[in-house]
Amino acid sequence: MNNYKITLLKGDGIGPEIVDQAIKVLDKAAEKFNFTVTYDEALLGGCAIDATGVPLPAETVAKCKASDSVILGAVGGPKWDDQPGSNRPEAGLLGIRGALGLFANLRPSVIFGPLKSASPIKDDIIGDNMDIMIVRELTGGIYFGERGRKEVDGQPAAWDTEQYTVAEVERIARVAFDLAMKRDKRVTSVDKANVLESSRLWRETVIRVAKDYPEVTLNHMYVDNCAMQLVRNPKQFDVIVTSNIFGDILSDEASMIAGSIGMLASASLSGGKLGLYEPIHGSAPDIAGQNIANPLATILSVAMMLRYSLDQQAAAEAIEAAVAKVLEQYRTPDIYEDGFTKVGCKEMGDLVCAQL
Ligand code: IPM
Ligand code: MG
């Protein structure tokens, strides 16, 4: 029987409560599909600052590297707002992505049928099978570039750098094209090539990589237009590939089209088996500990882990089907509508387990 070693980075705010539900579902899937899981916890973010002084202790990196995969809750909160930038909880998150070489972030935006009415976008615009895969570059660009403070015209000023190498663009483009080959064979590369030199290099490189994928249709879109097109006609997209910062912004937008940011899962991949799986939402410190957070994005992240890192396709599909079924009747407050039964975070986890 396969046994998988999973490192848990529960993090801050609602992180611990949503991860607890996700591992409950994973244990249930393990029982049903005949594999076992052993867990080890490690510190990341604000909780790590409190315990060790830094947001990403070396021990956390070592534990993650020694495991088959990593499940992450969320990091950050007002408590750590006055930490210097390089010691904020978010720096720990960027640090673990960098340390594990997780350059490809997959953020699927899929509409679950029963949730259509929870989307702020009109029914006929969403259609019945909106299914967008945002492929966000995760270890380069302006989030990892040099930055600093200086003085300009006697004024305090600050600067950040957006930079991409050809190799960085090539490898993320290949992830996008490979995914497109298993989907609808369409890739939209999003940039700001009318202004930014880094975007011009991005575009040239994507065009070159596309030659290896003659079956895939490639188009290019400026990021401002893409933000508009996502709400005007989301059905036009299959795979979107873009830089770290543009992917960060566009994936929040795409999550709302799918009903709630509490629904969107993500996979961060390194090219090998090891991946890190996390909801795209934040730590929501305002609702932490109240048993009202939506654990579904984390539960769906576990499904992605089963698919992309652990080769347990059937278990992944079973979890996704269970979530869809539960949504026909039950809702956490963020996606609540009249006529449904309102449940808490823990109850939602129990319902998905029961459905499995
Ligand atoms: C995300 C988050 C992070 C990011 C923050 C918390 C650093 O917004 O995963 O999208 O920008 O990558
Ligand atoms: Mg974000």
8 Å CB contact between 348 and 294: yes
Task: Give the Cβ contact number of residue 163 at 10 Å.
Answer: 14
> Per the confidence metrics, is the pTM higher than 0.85?
yes
Rounded CA gap, 267 and 104, in Å?
A: 8
97-147 residue pLDDT tens: 999 999 999 999 998 888 888 888 888 898 888 899 999 999 999 999 999
* Rounded percentage of the chain residues whose pLDDT exceeds 90: 89
Of these residues, 252, 325, 336, 346, which one is catalytic? 252
User: Is 120-257 the same fold as 1-110+260-356?
Assistant: yes
Residue owning the nearest CA to atom 7 of ligand 1: 90
**Contact in structure between 72 and 11 (CB atoms under 8 Å):** yes
Rounded distance between C-alpha atoms, residue 87 and residue 20, angstroms: 27
Angle, alpha carbons 40-45-51 (nearest 5°): 75
Q: Name beta bridge partners: 38.
A: 5
**pLDDT value at position 262?**
84
Nearest in space to 147 (alpha carbons), one of 84, 79, 57, 199: 84
The domain defined by 1-110+260-356 carries CATH number 3.40.718.10: yes
The answer to whether 164 is a known catalytic residue is no
In sequence order, the 6+-apart residues with CB closer than 8 A to the CB of 46 are: 11, 12, 55, 75, 76, 77, 79, 80, 89, 283
258 — pLDDT class (breaks 50, 70, 90):
confident
Report the Cα 162 to chain-centroid distance in Å: 21
Those residues whose C-beta lies under 8 Å from the C-beta of residue 131, and which sit 6 or more positions away, are 108, 109, 110, 111, 183, 238
Distance CA 126, CA 235 (A): 7
Question: Best mutation site among 103, 137, 248, 283 for ligand 1, i.e. most ligand atoms within 8 A of its Cβ?
Answer: 248
What's the CA gap between 118 and 255, in Å, rounded? Answer: 12
Distance (Å, rounded) from C-alpha 40 to C-alpha 25?
17
Mutate-to-test residue for ligand 1 from 12, 44, 83, 90, highest number of ligand atoms within 8 A of CB: 90
CATH of 120-257, one of 3.10.129.10, 3.40.718.10, 3.80.30.20, 3.90.740.10: 3.40.718.10
User: What digits encode the pLDDT tens for the residues 261-313?
Assistant: 888 999 999 998 899 999 999 999 999 999 999 999 999 999 999 999 999 99
The one catalytic residue in 12, 63, 143, 330 is: 143
Residue nearest to atom 5 of ligand 1 (CA): 90
Domain map (residue ranges) of the chain: 1-110+260-356, 120-257
> Under a CB-based contact definition with an 8 Å cutoff, are residues 108 and 271 in contact?
no
| Catalytic status, residue 116 | no
- Compute the distance between CA of residue 264 and CA of residue 278 in angstroms, rounded to an integer: 9
Residue 280: the pLDDT is: 92
Q: Whose CA is nearest to atom 9 of ligand 1?
A: 280
